[in-house]
Structure 1
């Protein structure tokens, strides 16, 4: 980031905090003046500390605090980890918290995608996507795609690197894996980014710039980043270039699908082709706010592609980071695999019903999602003023930050051992999976906007995790810095460097 951009952030934050420090006596102080005067461009560049700093301050403030900024900064925020507030906003009073125009402005590159819209268009999206997911062949096609990439991509690469004890970036591998699978599922095209030569596919890497660019829009006043966009400079130029790369990729794939004759050779490919066709068919009469049907379909695909690549790859990365730091958990999962899968069904591919038997693995994945939710926060603005269950008054000018990352580290929510990685907390006394309400375990959001791909995600996560743990032991490379990047998705800034050894 250029010096002038650092300077702009510095001035903005200092001015904002100066107001915050003049809060009324009955409100708790988040940051003292020494913290402000110590703020430098070097400190600001270390945004990986943001989550830990916010979590500590939230604990001191009882789980919620108000951040009052200057009028030009658009930073009047209420940051909360209170489950009752989360339940109220996401479910109980859902109608008062639509996405709204401010949200659409921040995430404008997703256009009329499902995460970006309200009302009738959102209902159309939800019903259509649920209908496609419920097609009789969807689950089998999805699992076939995942297994194909596991066998012909993931295991090939891991086997090659394990033989030479080569250091690999597991996060990069997972990002390539999920990008290939979501492209195959949505566009009937496998870009084969996960292969031994690790090809550079611009669209796959563009998602990193997109998720980082979205976060910076939250840090800057709208007037600042909109000026950047107008002048085609800085973060906005980078964001625009990344979106154009993705849009061009999706447009070419859609054009190929729509022009492809229907005489497919493979029955499986034909089934998958019908899945892609179903989205296009369902949306053929929808033109969204742009009035352009083709753009509406592109917005839909781009949104689903981002969700399919980023959240799953991020979860796998943090899961294996935690597994590598807790070898006892790794051993227990491997024992469970031998007990419920390998002994009973040999080398046959494991389906969703099979991996559903892996209760301890499910608990370990939920723990990773609790401690490192792929989307660390959500923000909402009320249509009408009201008082939240925590007692805080919010108006149409209040941006409410539902801070999912902090929730996983609150003792009053998860107990004194909340910072520990304990899959056992997800196992009931009878040995089954313990259910937690969505306003407590918010990795898949909650209420009417609960993630539609939750079951798909768990199936893919379990297939990949069980296959890797069954075949390999994961060893973290010493001395590497592992922390979140400054991004809307909780990716690792410098990846996850590991070495694999084959299980004999």
Structure 2
């Protein structure tokens, strides 16, 4: 880092600290507004620092009061002013109607440099290659058969044995940790044809699986801190940047050996996603020494998508169900009426169900959608237009300006979802005819929107229904008394302290 940047950082701290003390002193009395004060020299940085431990709820308060769009001002020397928006019309405009003007761009790649040339960072031709190859894999006639077999195998050999042990011992445990392990093993099986077995009875510590948690928090702070500050932290290997560096090393130590092994032991199996990406990349670029790094970036991006989205949704789903007993009863009754048709002398018999059967679970689908609406796994996204733009909200955006699209806030806006927007109501997703009600992605952006809509959306719902139905049918879930469940400050909306529960087996 340049001496000038370090000097600038020191000067800003000298200015900011007195202003922050003044701000705290002036706000001892209850504030009449959530909107931050735009101070001379330091802008709105004091308010951001004061609320950085609850940034998603704070952004929601700001956007609710300001009508869905707000301009955050930072010290001019940092050049990091940002427009916050949760306005559905703006989301539709940015992600669909004017999609070509909002690539991920170089600033996004700086923040998410750990993902390299993976699909989340890619633009233009490289993004098309990622999308085309992934779609080909997901649309193959044998894909869902592979998904069903891998999910049920992990349920029977990993999930149920672990949950049975906790149930028999009446021991409290972190449900979020279990879901993260399940999702990690599952996505590694699909992408790498390798099961790291992080979900088994002894719950081993797997460094690459745990590395995701440290990564997501550091990436959020990169959105909120001046680039010079987080680069200084990275240079000094302190704070969140130290965790990010350690996570990077853990990912590389896990992924590269598997890539190398697969290259030396190639498979002709058409369900081998890694081989498909290798072929597509080398056809585009010729035989390239960069293929190995490209595959690493591709694998890590897919692991992020597969591990953190489904596990985060299931964590919040079971917290919401545990705090809404009526919904739990409705889900259980639907499982029994739609799936448990086989009878024997002992009564209803649990059976493994397939993708088609999962479509019958309409109320469960609605409950998962409510979880995604209130707690979208990807809570925000960073965009920057190539050309200046006028948003439907009436806001002007300069070229390369930072736009933060707040998905978490969109799901909690009364103007979007009505006066009951903070209530958990699976019924809002059920149509008058009893089917699943569709909501446009710009209103419900949990799976992103427009051309970059998540390709694994259908796969995620199938996997989550299989896990949710299995667990609700077999166990009664109780929250550990006194355990605080709140969103964590990260780009992925984990539960900050996990989800501590106890289980008891149902009489089935």
Same topology, TM > 0.5: yes
Q: Report whether the alignment pairs 1:349 with 2:352.
A: yes
Q: How does 1:358-397 map to 2 (within 5 A)?
A: 358-397=361-400
Task: Identify which of 125, 134, 141 aligns with 1:136.
Answer: 141
The verdict on how the C-alpha distance between 1:10 and 1:157 changes in structure 2, with shifts beyond 3 A counting, is: farther
Task: Identify which of 102, 105, 108 aligns with 1:103.
Answer: 108
SS of match in other structure, 1:115: coil
The verdict on how the C-alpha distance between 1:133 and 1:37 changes in structure 2, with shifts beyond 3 A counting, is: closer
Q: Which residue of 2 aligns with 1:300?
A: 298
Which whole-Å CA distance do the structure 2 matches of 1:349 and 1:377 have between them? Answer: 36
Q: Kindly state the Cα deviation for residue 412 of structure 1 after the two structures are TM-superposed.
A: 1.0
Q: Report whether the alignment pairs 1:68 with 2:73.
A: yes
Q: How does 1:83-162 map to 2 (within 5 A)?
A: 83-162=88-167
Q: Which residue of 1 aligns with 2:346?
A: none
Which whole-Å CA distance do the structure 1 matches of 2:429 and 2:334 have between them? Answer: 15
The verdict on how the C-alpha distance between 1:62 and 1:153 changes in structure 2, with shifts beyond 3 A counting, is: same
Check whether the contact 1:185–1:276 (CA below 8 A) recurs between aligned residues.
no
Q: Which residue of 2 aligns with 1:492?
A: 495
Q: Kindly state the Cα deviation for residue 280 of structure 1 after the two structures are TM-superposed.
A: 3.0
Q: Kindly state the Cα deviation for residue 411 of structure 1 after the two structures are TM-superposed.
A: 0.9
Which whole-Å CA distance do the structure 2 matches of 1:156 and 1:341 have between them? Answer: 22
Which whole-Å CA distance do the structure 2 matches of 1:74 and 1:312 have between them? Answer: 35
Check whether the contact 1:76–1:397 (CA below 8 A) recurs between aligned residues.
no
The verdict on how the C-alpha distance between 1:160 and 1:357 changes in structure 2, with shifts beyond 3 A counting, is: same
Q: Report whether the alignment pairs 1:401 with 2:423.
A: no
How large is the RMSD of aligned CA atoms in angstroms? 2.8
Task: Identify which of 326, 333, 344 aligns with 2:331.
Answer: 333
Which whole-Å CA distance do the structure 2 matches of 1:301 and 1:262 have between them? Answer: 17
The verdict on how the C-alpha distance between 1:45 and 1:491 changes in structure 2, with shifts beyond 3 A counting, is: farther
Which whole-Å CA distance do the structure 1 matches of 2:146 and 2:14 have between them? Answer: 47
Q: Which residue of 2 aligns with 1:315?
A: 313
Gaps of 5+ in 1: 19-27, 264-269
Q: Kindly state the Cα deviation for residue 237 of structure 1 after the two structures are TM-superposed.
A: 2.6
Gaps of 5+ in 2: 1-8, 24-32, 344-348
Which whole-Å CA distance do the structure 2 matches of 1:45 and 1:208 have between them? Answer: 23
Check whether the contact 1:80–1:401 (CA below 8 A) recurs between aligned residues.
yes
The verdict on how the C-alpha distance between 1:494 and 1:212 changes in structure 2, with shifts beyond 3 A counting, is: same
Q: Kindly state the Cα deviation for residue 287 of structure 1 after the two structures are TM-superposed.
A: 5.5
The verdict on how the C-alpha distance between 1:38 and 1:112 changes in structure 2, with shifts beyond 3 A counting, is: closer
Which whole-Å CA distance do the structure 2 matches of 1:409 and 1:457 have between them? Answer: 23
Q: Which residue of 2 aligns with 1:220?
A: 225
The verdict on how the C-alpha distance between 1:178 and 1:80 changes in structure 2, with shifts beyond 3 A counting, is: same
The verdict on how the C-alpha distance between 1:8 and 1:220 changes in structure 2, with shifts beyond 3 A counting, is: farther
Instruction: Give the TM-score taking structure 2 as reference length.
Output: 0.89
The verdict on how the C-alpha distance between 1:76 and 1:38 changes in structure 2, with shifts beyond 3 A counting, is: closer
Check whether the contact 1:213–1:239 (CA below 8 A) recurs between aligned residues.
yes
Instruction: Give the TM-score taking structure 1 as reference length.
Output: 0.89
Q: Which residue of 1 aligns with 2:4?
A: none
The verdict on how the C-alpha distance between 1:140 and 1:215 changes in structure 2, with shifts beyond 3 A counting, is: same
Q: Which residue of 2 aligns with 1:239?
A: 244
Q: Kindly state the Cα deviation for residue 219 of structure 1 after the two structures are TM-superposed.
A: 1.8
Which whole-Å CA distance do the structure 1 matches of 2:470 and 2:106 have between them? Answer: 44
Which whole-Å CA distance do the structure 1 matches of 2:483 and 2:246 have between them? Answer: 30
Q: Kindly state the Cα deviation for residue 407 of structure 1 after the two structures are TM-superposed.
A: 0.8
Which whole-Å CA distance do the structure 2 matches of 1:185 and 1:45 have between them? Answer: 42
The verdict on how the C-alpha distance between 1:143 and 1:8 changes in structure 2, with shifts beyond 3 A counting, is: farther
Which whole-Å CA distance do the structure 1 matches of 2:109 and 2:120 have between them? Answer: 9
Q: Kindly state the Cα deviation for residue 8 of structure 1 after the two structures are TM-superposed.
A: 5.2
Q: Which residue of 1 aligns with 2:3?
A: none
The verdict on how the C-alpha distance between 1:243 and 1:279 changes in structure 2, with shifts beyond 3 A counting, is: same
Q: Which residue of 2 aligns with 1:267?
A: none
Q: Report whether the alignment pairs 1:503 with 2:472.
A: no
Q: Which residue of 2 aligns with 1:281?
A: 279
Q: Kindly state the Cα deviation for residue 282 of structure 1 after the two structures are TM-superposed.
A: 3.0
Task: Identify which of 445, 448, 452 aligns with 1:449.
Answer: 452
Which whole-Å CA distance do the structure 2 matches of 1:430 and 1:59 have between them? Answer: 33
* Count of matched residue positions in the alignment of Structure 1 and Structure 2: 480
Which whole-Å CA distance do the structure 2 matches of 1:145 and 1:58 have between them? Answer: 42
Q: Kindly state the Cα deviation for residue 75 of structure 1 after the two structures are TM-superposed.
A: 2.6
Which whole-Å CA distance do the structure 2 matches of 1:8 and 1:126 have between them? Answer: 44
Q: Which residue of 2 aligns with 1:475?
A: 478
Q: Deviations over 1:142-191 (max 9, x none)?
A: 11111111111001111111111110100000011001111111111111
Q: Kindly state the Cα deviation for residue 199 of structure 1 after the two structures are TM-superposed.
A: 0.4
Q: Deviations over 1:397-425 (max 9, x none)?
A: 42111111111111110010000000000
Q: Kindly state the Cα deviation for residue 65 of structure 1 after the two structures are TM-superposed.
A: 1.1
SS of match in other structure, 2:340: helix
Task: Identify which of 190, 196, 220 aligns with 1:185.
Answer: 190
SS of match in other structure, 2:478: strand
Q: Deviations over 1:324-352 (max 9, x none)?
A: 00011011000000011012595432111
Q: Which residue of 2 aligns with 1:427?
A: 430
Q: Kindly state the Cα deviation for residue 74 of structure 1 after the two structures are TM-superposed.
A: 3.2
